[in-house]
Amino acid sequence: MDTALFMAAAETAKQTIDRVEREIHDKQQELRLRKTVASALRGLRTCWSDGYAGKYGPHWFFVRDFSATLHEKSGRKHIEYQKFWVADIANDPAKFRELAAAGKVPSGSYADARTAPCACGRHVPIIGRYEQTEDSTDGDTWELELYALCLHCPSLSGLGNDFKASYYY
């Protein structure tokens, strides 16, 4: 073994480890993002038929309109929103259209969705996620968050803390 080679390897080992750890961290973040985007895409196709929205997993929907207010007495944030789904991507378009025609499922088109800017510069649809985060005999906690969904990047960017709320019942 060559002493100079050994010393060079010893000097660069920590830098190499740090670089690989950063790469792994970045890939883990990318994997989490891609899994969340996949969940949203599945949900936008299927959640229109949820029996108990958000109880057993995320409830995804397109957002036609929304506003955030503070409750006067409690000071808690409340987000009002109008959700809908798009028949063309529903997992059972015929059943979806039948229920939408009967007024049981809110329906719309991509153009009906409110939009927000993505980091890539495009204006993209706003979608929402509603989900039970705690199930307790003392009460349940539910979370609502609004996102910008970009299929060009792809990305799913939260609209920020102003459009994220937790509810306790």
Residue 165 pLDDT > 70: no
Question: Rounded mean pLDDT of the chain?
Answer: 89
* pLDDT band per the 50, 70, 90 thresholds, residue 169: low
To 5 degrees, how large is the angle CA 70–CA 165–CA 57? Answer: 150
Which pLDDT tens digit goes with each residue over 33-48? 999 999 999 999 999 9
Residue 108 pLDDT > 90: yes
Q: Quick one: 141 exposed, middle or buried, by C-beta within 10 A (0-12, 13-18, 19+)?
A: middle
Cα–Cα separations (whole angstroms), residue 42 to 117, 118, 122, 134, 141: 23, 21, 22, 23, 24
Q: Is the pTM of this model over 0.85?
A: no
* pLDDT score recorded for residue 71: 72
Question: What count of other Cβ atoms lies within 10 Å of the Cβ of residue 124?
Answer: 23
* pLDDT score recorded for residue 134: 78
Residue 22 pLDDT > 70: yes
Q: Which of 150, 125, 164 is nearest to 36 (CA)?
A: 150
User: Within 13 Å and on the Cβ side, how many CA atoms surround 154?
Assistant: 13
Q: Is 18 left (phi over 0), alpha (psi -120 to 50) or beta?
A: alpha
* pLDDT score recorded for residue 162: 64
**Beta-bridge partner residues of 59:** 130
